[in-house]
Amino acid sequence: MPEPPSPQPVDAERFAEAVRFALQAHGNQYRKGSPAPFVTHPVAVAGILAQYGCSEAVVLAAVLHDVLEDTPVTAEELEARFGPRVTALVQAVTEVKTIAGRPVPWEERKASQLAHLQATDDLEAVLLKAADVLHNVTTIIRDLRLRGHATWSRFRRGATDQLRYYRRVAEVLGERLGNHPLAAELKAQVEELHLEAARAARGPSPTPPS
């Protein structure tokens, strides 16, 4: 991957606008099996990308990256508010969950997303997906330490499928991003996820702190 350009500060007003938009779009949604408002996830993903010096468009797209997938917001609305580049990035990481009114199986959605990541020329979209996966992985690690193996019950697929998916997506993103430090961090955290999952499977579920 070529050397990234010198990072430019993200405009605070534009960032705040994106956060407000995401807050309104996601409404009362919460993270799966968590008391945390859903919007904490996209904001955390944006923070990761900002720390790595990514462009403003990528950071704004991170804040908004789930609105097309999980809310009634349309691509047209998103483009009118934030422009074609941000919208294209969001679309690049949006999974198609239904076709002709029927749900698309989890395995097909993940396979399609991986195929797109392998084929796309848009490495900023790959960075966005890497940060998204990184935050999901670190969240699961934390939950495993707090709640043990029961953490997996909140997912539609169990530990085996989830762990296999995260290892594969880290491999694909690593291949695309080369020596980018975000790829290295993701790989390390996926390995930690496997270790933590093995620890959780061996012992009783910890009691969450009061």
**Residue from 56, 66, 70, 124 carrying the catalytic annotation:** 70
Is position 185 annotated as part of the catalytic site? no
Is position 69 annotated as part of the catalytic site? yes
- Determine the Cα–Cα distance for residues 116 and 135; give it in Å rounded to an integer: 20
Query: What is the Cβ-side half-sphere exposure of residue 45, based on CA atoms within 13 angstroms?
Result: 30
**Residue from 56, 66, 69, 77 carrying the catalytic annotation:** 69
- Determine the Cα–Cα distance for residues 183 and 163; give it in Å rounded to an integer: 17
**CA separation, residue 159 to residues 16, 153, 164, 165, 201 (Å):** 36, 9, 8, 10, 10
- Determine the Cα–Cα distance for residues 175 and 8; give it in Å rounded to an integer: 26
The residues carrying an active-site annotation are 69-70
